[in-house]
Amino acid sequence: MRKTGRMRNWPFAKGHGTHNDFVIINDRHGMYDPDSADVRFLCDRHGGIGGDGVLRVVRARYVKDWDGDPDLWFMDYRNADGSIAEMCGNGVRVFARYLVEEGLAMGESLPIATRAGLRTARFVHQDQVAVEMGPVVVRDAGVKVELAGERWPALSVDVGNPHAVVEVSDLSTLDFYFAPTWFPSEAFPEGVNVEFVRSVGPGHIAMRVFERGVGETQSCGTGTVAAAAAAAQRDGTGITHWRVDVPGGTVRVDLRPDGSTLTGPAVIVARGEVFLPNQFD
């Protein structure tokens, strides 16, 4: 049985990229490593700080199964429900911003380790950060997505994490009271981020997203890359530069045969100390 004892105090920061918001925990010496209950507490918008996820800032040497440079900063990303995710495009921009503002890294280009591999962030201008997101794989795997009794065909997109991208004519009528489901269910055994996309014009789309482990968010960085890649395949005109509007703002996605780049804002809005319940068996 899980009980609650004395409180623990951790320093934290809060940041967001197009209103996809994160609690940032500086764990440079590998001393904290929040468990799923800690993450749920931190992301609780009523009893904790509130966020779509937690960014744990830690040296790669402290991360199990990382076999690359042990001195890199590792973005240990957790969804709001406590589950571990491979990658977060908005999160890695916020992560890079935090490293520089805290004096943990210097320069215009920063290598950042993630569970989806190495990502490089560049500071472009003002609050804008560009991240090399790696290759994008789009497949028509016969997947269908259902929401509120309506069903659409979806493209399966891999951006280091899984996405199902649906094209719709109206984003405003989508009802996210219940989570979308997909068929066949075995297409995404670990869950999937579902993007609903509307065409605005050439190289311009709007998007809403239901993130696995979170729910609807104001933005999803990897989701915008997935949505742009799916739109490019459906469009067939060879457009490689895409504007993607999300409820939290606008980002730019650049697609190449060998990779992709996501550019958008990243800001740190608060720093402080949080008191977590000390949980033990």
Question: Annotated binding residue at 212?
Answer: yes
Residue bearing tokens 């259902």: 146
43 is catalytic: no
Could you tell me the CA-to-CA distances from 195 to 28, 120, 172, 256, 262 in Å, in that order?
34, 24, 14, 21, 16
Q: Is 20 annotated as a binding residue?
A: yes
On whether 161 is known to bind a ligand per the annotation, the reply is yes
Tokens of 93: 């921009």
89 labelled as ligand-binding? yes
Name the amino acid, one letter, at 97: R
Please tell me whether 79 is known to bind a ligand: yes
Does 222 show up as a binding residue in the annotation?
Answer: yes
Phi, psi of 164 (to 5 degrees): -120, 120
The annotation status of 139 as a binding-site residue, yes or no, is no
12-to-16, 34, 138, 195 alpha-carbon distances in Å: 14, 12, 37, 30
Does 93 appear as a known binding residue?
A: no
Helix/strand/coil (H, E, C) string of 121-173? EEEEECCEEEEECCCCEEEEEEEEEEECCEEEEEEEEECCCEEEEEECCCCCC
Greatest distance between any 2 Cα atoms in the chain: 60
- Write down the catalytic residue from 43, 145, 220, 268: 220
The Cα-based distances of 223 to 158, 193, 229, 230 in angstroms read 10, 7, 10, 10
Out of 54, 55, 87, 88, the active site residue is: 88
The residue among 141, 139, 150 whose CA lies nearest residue 226 is: 139
Does 184 sit behind a cis peptide bond, omega within 30 degrees of 0 on the bond before it? yes
- Which positions are annotated as active-site residues? 88, 220
Residues within the annotated binding site?
20, 79, 89-90, 161, 193, 211-212, 221-222
Residues within the annotated binding site for substrate?
20, 79, 89-90, 161, 193, 211-212, 221-222
